[in-house]
Structure 1
Amino acid sequence: MARPQLEPRADREIFELPLEVRPEHIDENGHVNNVVYVGWLQDAGTAHWNARFDADARAKWSWVGTRHEIDYFRPLMPDATGVKARTWVGDPHGPRFNRYVRIEDGEGRLCAQGVTEWVLVDAATMRPHRIPADILPAFERR
């Protein structure tokens, strides 16, 4: 059964992160290994957070990924260029946000998509914390 493709929400900022396919990413099947995609989901979320919040906010809050789900549509080969992650967040639920990521090739074709559940934690105690109301506006479409 075909999985529906994730489409960005109209009310959320779509953050883009260029990705590089490196030789060590290629597995014995000749394409980017699945484990690399998990890292890319994390990289996209972290880059988006770092781009929107200053050092003080990043010192106060941290995020912990508690669940990843990835669907693969098209392999990325060793010579792939122009690869990018496009990411946006869902609605906050207590301390949780779902973050959605599309991995696209240089022609804009969907290669993989993922959802990660992130939990906001107090950086000093590492205890979960309800997402403050002032965080969501940073991820809204401008």
Structure 2
Amino acid sequence: MDWDYPQPFTLPVTPCAGDIDGLDHTNNAVYVRWCEQAGWAHSEQLGLSLPDYRRLDRAMAIRRGEYDYLLPTFAGEALTLATWLVAGDGKLAMERRFQLVRDSDGATVLRGRWDLVCIEISSGRVRRMPAEFVDTYMPAMAQAVDAAAP
């Protein structure tokens, strides 16, 4: 696959009949749901799960999400969703990117990006990342293959 960044965390996905909208293609909200699933799975693979977030009373919350829907997908198509952490200040903020590729021809059908901010779960207020977040997430930051990567 021609990934935007090296060493993606990937999740295979396939639209099912319930994912298809009135225009006979995958509904845009399904892509958002898949991105959330990939983000959590990547975090768990790195070593931080929802129980860890609760134990630490901290979470990386989406402050802003952007999605570029480039091509339609259809029921039964094999797709691969990739995600990376690409930026972080080690204090409050991180950025996560997504790229959804159609397996049959390698075409990128979606790109997404989340600006994340660390919050205290109990209050919802922005708080500094705990050491466990910094130690887990900062070494996982991907570097762009070239300056043209989105």
Q: CA deviation at 1:138?
A: 4.8
Once the two structures are superposed, the pairs formed by residues 1-142 of structure 1 within 5 Å of their partners are 7-8=4-5, 10=6, 13-54=7-48, 57-59=52-54, 60=56, 61-81=58-78, 83-93=79-89, 94-107=91-104, 108-131=106-129, 132=131, 133-140=134-141
Figure out how many residues of one structure are paired with residues of the other and give that number.
133
Q: Please, which runs of 5 or more residues in structure 1 have no aligned partner?
A: none
Q: CA deviation at 1:96?
A: 1.5
Task: Using the TM superposition, name which of 16-25 and 123-132 deviates more.
Answer: 123-132
Q: Is the 8 A contact 1:41 1:116 kept in 2?
A: no
User: Aligned partners of 1:88, 1:140: CA distance in 2, in Å?
Assistant: 7
Q: CA deviation at 1:130?
A: 2.5
Q: Is the 8 A contact 2:25 2:73 kept in 1?
A: yes
User: Aligned partners of 1:130, 1:90: CA distance in 2, in Å?
Assistant: 19
Offset from partner CA, 1:63-121 (integer Å, 9 cap, x none): 2112111112211111212x121010122134121100001112322011100112222
Task: Using the TM superposition, name which of 127-136 and 69-78 deviates more.
Answer: 127-136
Structure 2 length as normaliser, TM-score?
0.75
Name the SS for the 1:90 alignment partner.
strand
% identity of equivalent residues: 23
Q: Please, which runs of 5 or more residues in structure 2 have no aligned partner?
A: 143-150
Amino acid at match of 2:84: W
